[in-house]
Amino acid sequence: MADIDVKICGLTSVEAIEAAAEAGAAYAGFVFFEKSPRNVVPREAPALVKHVPKTMKRVGVFVEPSDSLLERAIVAGRLDIIQLHGDERPERLKSLKARHKVEIWKAIPVSTASDLERAKRYRDDANLILFDARTPKASRLPGGMGIAFDWKLLNKFKHKAPWGLSGGLNADNVAEALAITGATMLDVSSGVESEPGIKNPDKISAFMEAVKAV
Ligand SMILES: O=C(O)c1ccccc1NCC(=O)[C@H](O)[C@H](O)COP(=O)(O)O
């Protein structure tokens, strides 16, 4: 694989974790958000994360989490990274960084070029900016909806911080996404599922093969 790190997000089963590990994913993503079909509550996390090999980092995905949820999830999920998917301000990232020994990733919803400008506010406090598709206002989830944005927006964007690409990726379109954006970190959820919340090991493997073939 051409130095591309992949996060398989929304893992809820041992089978899916093992498929992601075997296929060579760098990150195992667990969603701590009760409206999500992929929600993991902190008390369930230890039984899952014990199957994540040392070669992978554990990422917890949150939407404007309370301090209490974060503290429980970080401990139970032995999280290396927290990914924030809501309207968290840069100050919130700064204070979380001071309090917890984790990396912080900030997801930025993208539909137009002006959305990319928002990312600049986070470049001092986020370890990585994840450009994800903006989901429709009426949808219940700010991520994990299988929606892609116009990748050409990233084509000429001057990145001032490490970044990753997310939103609507799958085995059939990931080569094109990489060719257009030059991303070195990818995040996928719906594109490796049979239905919302149910990861499909064959799709995980096909996605990773498609990335390796680039
Ligand atoms: O996946 C979820 O259910 C989710 C819920 C709330 C906030 C974020 C969520 N997912 C974040 C991710 O990192 C997804 O992998 C990302 O949005 C891409 O999803 P998809 O378009 O389905 O590949």
pLDDT digits (tens, 9 = 90+) for 25-75: 999 999 999 999 999 999 999 999 999 999 999 999 999 999 999 999 999
Q: How many residues does the chain have?
A: 214
From 9, 80, 172, 202, active-site residue: 9
Q: Give the other-Cβ count within 10 Å of 14's Cβ.
A: 13
Mutation to probe ligand 1, out of 141, 192, 193, 199 (largest number of atoms < 8 A from CB): 141
Q: What's the half-sphere exposure (Cβ side, CA atoms, 13 Å) at 179?
A: 8
Which tokens hold the place of 44?
């369930």
Residue nearest to atom 19 of ligand 1 (CA): 144
C-alpha to C-alpha distance for 85 and 141, rounded to whole angstroms:
10
Domain range summary for the chain, segments of one domain joined by +: 5-212
Q: What is the pTM of this model?
A: 0.97
Ligand 1 atom nearest to CA at 148: 21
- Distances in Å between the alpha carbon of 155 and those of 28, 181, 195? 27, 5, 31
Question: How do residues 162-185 score in pLDDT, each as one tens digit?
Answer: 999 999 999 999 999 999 999 999
In sequence order, what are the residues at sequence separation of 6 or more whose Cβ sits closer than 8 angstroms to the Cβ of residue 104?
81, 82, 84, 93, 96, 97, 125, 126, 127
Distance from residue 153's CA to the centre of ligand 1 (Å): 20
C-alpha to C-alpha distance for 24 and 204, rounded to whole angstroms:
10
What number does CATH give the domain 5-212? 3.20.20.70
